[in-house]
Amino acid sequence: MVKRKLKERDNGDGKTDEPISSIHSFKNEEKKEFRQKLVTWFQENQRDLPWRNHLSNPDVDQRAYAVWVSEIMLQQTQVATVIEYYKRWMKKWPTLQDLAKASLEEVNEMWSGLGYYSRGRRLLEGAQKVVKEFGGKMPRTAESLLKHLPGVGRYTAGAIASIAYGQATGIVDGNVIRVLCRMRIIGANSTSQPVQNKLWSLADEIVDPDHPADFNQGMMELGATVCTPKSPGCVSCPVQNLCLARAMVDQNKHRNGNKLGINNGPIIADIECAADKCDLCLPENETWDEKEGVQNYPRKAGKKAAREEKMSVCVLCRRTKSGTDQYYLVQRAQKGLLAGLWEFPSVKVEDESDETVGHTIQEILQKSCGLTLLPSTQSSMVGNVEHIFSHIHQTYIVQAVIVPVEEVDDSQVHAENSRWVTKEEFSSAAVSTAMKKVFKAFESHGKKKTSTADPGKNQKSITAFFKKK
C-alpha cells in the first residue's frame, strides 16, 4: 500500500535527501529518460499499420486526413477490426475532397458493422466543413482542430496535431491512462476530474518536443502491446525502471523475502505520497492487491448496467418461383441511435415485463411503415436475438412473413424511406450489426422450416393484404 506521510530518504550514510517530491509526477531527469527510451523502443518495435503508411506523405493535409480517419475509427474499436475498414475507406475516399462529395448513405454503408455510427456521419460533416469553409485546408493546431471539427475531442485533436503536424501536445486515451496510472501509481477513479486533470498535465509535460509523433504513438503502442489491461509484459517494457507500480511489486517481493529470511539484496525504499489527503492515490477503503500487481492500476468506477429494451421485428420477404428472395427495409430517423440506418420493420415493446411476442406482424408493419395485413396472413416465429449496445441491452423478438413476388404491387408498399433488397444488397447496405444478427437468425430458422406461407397454396394476393394507412 502507498504510505501517506512526508518522509526523508536515508541514503545509508547517515545523510538524508530533501523531502520526497510528489510520486504522481515525473522529475526532469525522469522525463528525459522516459522520452529517449520510449521513442527508441517505438521506432524499433512499431506495428505495421495502414494509417502509418500515410505519414511520409509530403502533403500535410493528406497526412492529417489519414490520421483523422484512423483515430475516429479506433474510438471504442479494436485495431484488428479497424484495419480492413480503414483500407476500404481510403481506397474509396483517398482525399478529404473525395469524402466531402460522398453522401451520408454511402458513408453509412461503408461504416456498416463498425458501430457508433455517428462517428462516420461526423467525419463526413467535418470533411464538408473543411472543404467549404477552409478551402480544403485542415486546421493546423490541436486547439483549432478541437474548435472547428465536429466529433473531434481533445484526444483526437492532440493525436492529429502531434502525429501529422509535429505539435508537441499530449494525448490521453485508454492506453495512455493505463500507462501513466501505473507509472505514477494513480489509483483513484481514472474518470474523476482530479485524475483526468493530472493525466492531461502529465501527458503535456512528458511529450517529447523533438519527436512528438513517435512519442505519442509510442505511448499508445506501449499500452496496446506491453502495458495491457491483463497479463502485462513488464519484463519487456522499455521504461520499467521508471514504473512505480512495478517498483511496488518488487518492494512487496522484498518484504515477503525478509519474512522468510532469504533477502540479501539492497533495501528498497518505501514508495510514499507526501499528501495527507490525496485525490490521486488509492482510496483509503481500497487496498493494494498483491495478486493483481501492476494491474491494481488504473481503477475505474463501477460500470453502469445497460438498460433493457425489447423490439418486435418483422422480416418481410417476397420470394420468386426461382427462389430469389427480397427483403423489405425501412430507414431509421436521421437523429438518435443508429440514425439513418436501414432495418427490418420494428416497434419498441413498451411493457418490458411482457414475455409474449410483443406485437403481432400486423401491428409491427402498421406502426413502423404504415402498412397493414389481413388477419388471415400467416407468419412464423423466428425467436429472440440479443445485441448489446454501449448503454442498451436490446432483445429483438423476430417474426417472419414470406409471400410470392408475382403478386406484389410495389406501388402499394414502396415509400421514400423504404426499399426491397436482395441478400447481396442487404449485406452491403447501411444496416447495423444487430440487424445482421436478425437476418442470420431468420436464415437459420428457414433452414429448419421452409415457410408457413407456401407460395404453392391458394393464397390471397399481397395487394389485398397491404394497404396504406
Contact 219, 181 (CB under 8 A): no
HSE (CB half, 13 Å, CA atoms) of 105?
A: 4
The interaxial angle of helices 79-92 and 60-74, nearest 10 deg, is 140
Please provide the DSSP assignment of 362-427 as one string: HHHHHHHHSEE--TT---EEEEEEEEE-SSEEEEEEEEEEEEEGGG--HHHH--TTEEEE-HHHHH
363 labelled catalytic: no
Helix (H) / strand (E) element for 253: namely helix 244-260
Alpha carbon separation from 411 to 17, 416, 462, 463 (Å, rounded): 87, 11, 12, 10
Residue 29, C-beta contacts closer than 8 angstroms, at least 6 positions apart? none
Catalytic residue among 18, 44, 71, 352: 71
Distance CA 186, CA 192 (A): 11
Cell of 11: 541514503
**Quick one: the chain helix, strand, coil %, rounded to 5?**
45, 15, 40
C-alpha–C-alpha distance, residues 190 and 73, integer Å: 23
Residue 267 backbone dihedrals phi, psi, to 5 degrees: -70, 135
Q: Which amino acid is at 345?
A: P
With H, G, I as helix, E, B as strand and everything else as coil, classify residue 331: strand
Active centre residues (catalytic): 71
